[in-house]
Amino acid sequence: MSIRLVECIPNFSEGRRMEVVEQILDAITSMEGVVVLDRHSDPDHNRTVVTFVGPPEAVDEAAFRGIARAAELIDLNQHEGEHPRIGATDVVPFVPIEGVTMAECIEMARRLGKRVGEELGIPVYLYEKAATRPERENLENIRRGEYEALKEEIGKHPARDPDFGPARVGPAGATVIGARDPLIAFNVYLTTDDVSIASKIARAVRHSSGGLRYVKALGMLVEGRAQVSMNLTNYRKTPIARVVELIRREAQRYGVAVHHSELVGLAPQEALIEAARWYLQLDAFEPEQILERRLYSALQEKPLPETPEPTFLDELAAGTPTPGGGSAAAYTAAAGAALVAMVGRLTVGKKKYKAVEPQVWPILERAEEVRRELEALVSEDAAAFEAVMAARRLPKATEEQKAARQQAILEATRKAAQVPLRTARLAAEVLDLAGQMAAIGNLNAVTDAGTAAALAHAALTGATLNVRINSLDLPAEEARALLDEVHALVQQAETRYAEVMRTVHTRAGLD
């Protein structure tokens, strides 16, 4: 059977609240059959670009779920960022990858647009190859004036009438959906903070004002540095290297230089190979001279044994900031809850323990509930820490930006303290459940109940360390309330742990 793959690259108007981005990604990946290849969140643009692939039907449904979730979580009236936008889900292009035609992608765009308009009540504009009007082939024409202008003009000017959905916008704004060839999102940063220079260079390189064909460009200020932000719509006819060299020459006119460049999302390998060939003047170069390509060809003929998927412990040992101690604490407490449930199942149904069965069932059921909550906290803790890091990367060039950054850091830190606090509370509950099970559960598994208690005790210790470290960055009154609860949890846990261990030792005959 031939493979049919479509790429979808939705752009969401959120690049600062990582917990929101995670919920949108969860909605997308809830559709079986799609694989997320990349995500790129930019706090200055306040935008996240997601790249996922799959069979057409799965990609269609995943895109709808992402749009629906974004509409629930993002309010354009509160949105600020450097990048132009008209919607919570700003633009959704479909790109044919393998076994799928452009005509099929156009049909996907129109089908999705109709559904979004009817079921979500969001105005939808079709663009690029799916456009129903020539002037809408260009995204910039649809997005001109951004959300604020669209909100005022839709329903009043026929040019603003959507292809699908109501002629009015709500907090989710409008969405642009289309089909196109592969596009490269590419930014070049300059050695200046003068955004007017970036704007002049953008005007010189973009096709709409007389520059290079297949280049769209804007000048922006990002992290205190002027940036030429571009979409390269045909890298074969206008290669990346040619664009960079034109920017370099234009920059020299204004006494500045290229500081560095940035690839947003994914790019075809061919585009980067062509850039290397151009700069290194490899006239006789063949792509098969690339080691990885030759290796890939060889492995197609004789595959290596499959490498197992990385486990949570692999991720923990990977040397990345997340997952870290908070996630490990939640994972450890979840293991303790699982052991409590195991001992419960080894007890119920046994004639010897029939008398205690009515007491065991509620313990077992609660242990399973707590385990599920703790499993969710493993990833939630990592996301909370990532949100703090994202807040710290926010711009701080002006007093307003500094104030907004500090507020974002404070809110993210509050969440980063609350998540391990929830872990600690649940770990304390696991410790108590382990104690109850140790007292009445299957004698042959009493040491397993003791192990559950030990895991819960360790998890509580680790979780409270995370609460304490995050409380250092909170206002004194908030920090004191957290530390008081932590102190009480630790004191109670020490007492309860000692009781459980005495029970385990006595029943197991270890004294």
Give catalytic residue positions. 83, 381
Reading the block at residue 152, the tokens are 């005022």
The whole-angstrom separation of Cα 13 and Cα 15 is 7
- 3 state SS of 250: helix
Question: How would you classify the pairing of strands 5-8 and 258-264?
Answer: unpaired
Query: For 503, phi and psi rounded to 5 degrees?
Result: -60, -45
**Residue 337 near residue 430 (C-beta atoms within 8 A):** yes
The whole-angstrom separation of Cα 483 and Cα 468 is 7
The whole-angstrom separation of Cα 107 and Cα 128 is 13
- 3 state SS of 338: helix
| DSSP string computed for 451-509 | HHHHHHHHHHHHHHHHHHHHHTTS-HHHHHHHHHHHHHHHHHHHHHHHHHHHHHHHHHT
The whole-angstrom separation of Cα 420 and Cα 432 is 18
The whole-angstrom separation of Cα 510 and Cα 136 is 79
Query: For 189, phi and psi rounded to 5 degrees?
Result: -95, 145
Query: For 492, phi and psi rounded to 5 degrees?
Result: -65, -40
Tokens 């000017």, located at residue: 157
Residue partners of 74: CB distance under 8 A and separation at least 6? 12, 13, 14, 20, 88, 171, 172
Tokens 């002027």, located at residue: 226
Closest CA to 444 of 504, 492, 489: 504
